[in-house]
């Protein structure tokens, strides 16, 4: 079976060499040497000033919500992974869903502005599949209504926007380093903030709110990255250039082979986008479901990503009377019903992509 993705692993000897020092230091977690080294290397690689590692992006977004001290309603996209919406709910915030742009799949700034009320405290947008949101428009809205702006940048490792890292926009951005992401630390993530003060708040959050040994100054949780995870990150960072290049080559091959068919591609907001996903939309839900099954039968997995919309989660309807379910999420619903992410990872074979495209064309 060819899976939709396959984690990048470093050379095993490289990892062994990296973790040897852990036995010498006997320091396994709690802001160890390797965590600090990875933070420093990532700041340099990404070109960002304030970055803290966390256990995963889910915790990173939760840290952002606490650090910004949000209340009331947060406008967000329903076309995302469960984590984005779940953490809002867990923090006691009300997710208010705005529709997405039918071409870029990202939150539509016009609908965001339409959904603002007196209770709105922030916008939580997602750079879907690493494709940048309409950052300029979202920043303008945030400024006009004095709202905080958070970017779930789980898919956007290494993406640059108008000459700088995409994570330098908004108040806080959060990256995911989960096993299947472009850059992985097995499980992991990073919170990038606009100010040192916000970073300090996120770092308090990731360590139970401890300011010092006997002083807890804010609510916090255990969201610390271990030395073993950081070691994996240090190894994988060495091969990131190759991973990006290979994925791009395969992405371009897909585009070439599927161009001219009636599958629809996500429209890139800007030119330089890294490729972790190969999303395609079919002309109907029935065709999408058929393609999903047909590929599976032929030994290729694909993923209905994101399906269902998070606004359709049963728990939002059942438990919370506060939760505003968007009624008019037509574009999001259409994309969610017709999308399929095809296999894309650097160790794929070219012939697999050719076969997948042939199967997709047969279904079309």
Ligand X SMILES: Cc1ncc(COP(=O)(O)O)c(C=O)c1O
Spatial CA neighbour of 307 closest among 12, 68, 80, 132:
80
Report the residue number, 229 or 287, with the smaller CB distance to ligand X.
229
Q: Taking CA 15 as the corner, what is the angle to CA 8 and CA 193, rounded to the nearest 5 degrees?
A: 65
Structure tokens, 181? 């992401």
Min separation Cβ 280 and ligand X, Å: 18
Q: Footprint of ligand X on this chain (CB under 6 A)?
A: 56-58, 80-81, 83-84, 126, 152, 154-155, 176, 178, 189
Report the residue number, 169 or 357, with the smaller CB distance to ligand X.
169
Q: How far is CA 344 from the centre of its chain?
A: 16
CB 322 within 8 A of CB 363: no
Dihedral pair phi/psi, residue 332, rounded to 5°: -60, -45
Residues in the chain: 364
Min separation Cβ 189 and ligand X, Å: 5
Min separation Cβ 309 and ligand X, Å: 13
Task: Give the residue carrying structure tokens 């629809």.
Answer: 264
Min separation Cβ 155 and ligand X, Å: 6
- If you ran DSSP here, which 8-state letter would residue 190 be given? E
Q: CA 239, 240, 243, 248 torsion: positive or negative?
A: negative
Report the residue number, 154 or 356, with the smaller CB distance to ligand X.
154
Whole-number Å distance between alpha carbons of 89 and 137? 26
Report the residue number, 149 or 154, with the smaller CB distance to ligand X.
154
Min separation Cβ 191 and ligand X, Å: 11
Helix (H) / strand (E) element for 62: namely helix 57-67
Min separation Cβ 114 and ligand X, Å: 23
Report the residue number, 154 or 182, with the smaller CB distance to ligand X.
154
Min separation Cβ 98 and ligand X, Å: 16
Using CA atoms, how far residue 207 sits from 37, 124, 180, 268, 271, in Å, is: 18, 24, 26, 38, 38
CB 164 within 8 A of CB 49: no
Report the residue number, 96 or 175, with the smaller CB distance to ligand X.
175
Report the residue number, 186 or 363, with the smaller CB distance to ligand X.
186
Spatial CA neighbour of 329 closest among 73, 102, 74, 128:
102
**DSSP labels for 63-109?**
HHHHHTT--SEEEE-SSS-HHHHHHHHHTT-EEEE--B-TTT-SB-H
Min separation Cβ 307 and ligand X, Å: 13
Report the residue number, 174 or 198, with the smaller CB distance to ligand X.
174
């Amino acid at each position: 079976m060819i899976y939709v993705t396959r984690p990048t692993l470093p050379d095993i000897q490289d990892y062994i060499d990296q973790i040897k020092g852990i036995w010498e230091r006997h320091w396994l977690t709690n802001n160890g040497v390797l965590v600090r080294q990875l933070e420093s290397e990532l700041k340099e690689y990404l070109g960002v000033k304030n970055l803290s590692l966390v256990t995963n992006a889910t915790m990173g977004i939760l840290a952002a919500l606490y650090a910004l001290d949000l209340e009331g309603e947060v406008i967000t996209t329903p076309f995302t992974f469960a984590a984005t919406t779940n953490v809002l709910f867990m923090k006691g915030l009300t997710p208010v869903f705005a529709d997405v742009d039918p071409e870029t799949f990202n939150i539509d700034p016009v609908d965001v502005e339409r959904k603002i009320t007196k209770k709105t405290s922030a916008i939580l947008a997602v750079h879907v599949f690493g494709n940048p949101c309409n950052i300029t428009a979202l920043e303008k809205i945030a400024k006009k209504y004095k709202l905080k702006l958070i970017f779930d940048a789980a898919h956007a490792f290494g993406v640059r926007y108008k000459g700088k890292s995409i994570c330098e926009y908004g108040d806080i951005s959060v990256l995911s380093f989960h096993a299947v992401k472009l850059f992985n630390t097995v499980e992991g993530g990073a919170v990038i903030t606009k100010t040192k003060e916000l970073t300090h708040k996120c770092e308090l959050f990731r360590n139970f709110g401890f300011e010092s040994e006997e002083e807890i100054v804010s609510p916090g949780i255990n969201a610390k990255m271990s030395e073993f995870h950081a070691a994996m990150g240090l190894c994988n960072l060495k091969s990131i250039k190759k991973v990006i290049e290979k994925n791009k080559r395969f992405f371009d091959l897909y585009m070439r082979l599927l161009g001219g068919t009636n599958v629809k591609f996500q429209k890139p907001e800007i030119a330089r986008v890294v490729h972790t996903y190969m999303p395609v939309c079919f002309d109907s839900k029935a065709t999408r479901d058929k393609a999903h099954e047909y590929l599976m039968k032929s030994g290729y997995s694909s993923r209905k990503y994101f399906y269902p919309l998070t606004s359709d989660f049963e728990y939002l309807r059942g438990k919370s009377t506060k939760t505003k379910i968007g009624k008019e999420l037509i574009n999001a619903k259409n994309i969610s019903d017709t999308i399929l992410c095809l296999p894309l990872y650097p160790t794929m074979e070219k012939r697999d992509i050719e076969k997948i495209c042939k199967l997709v064309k047969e279904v079309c």
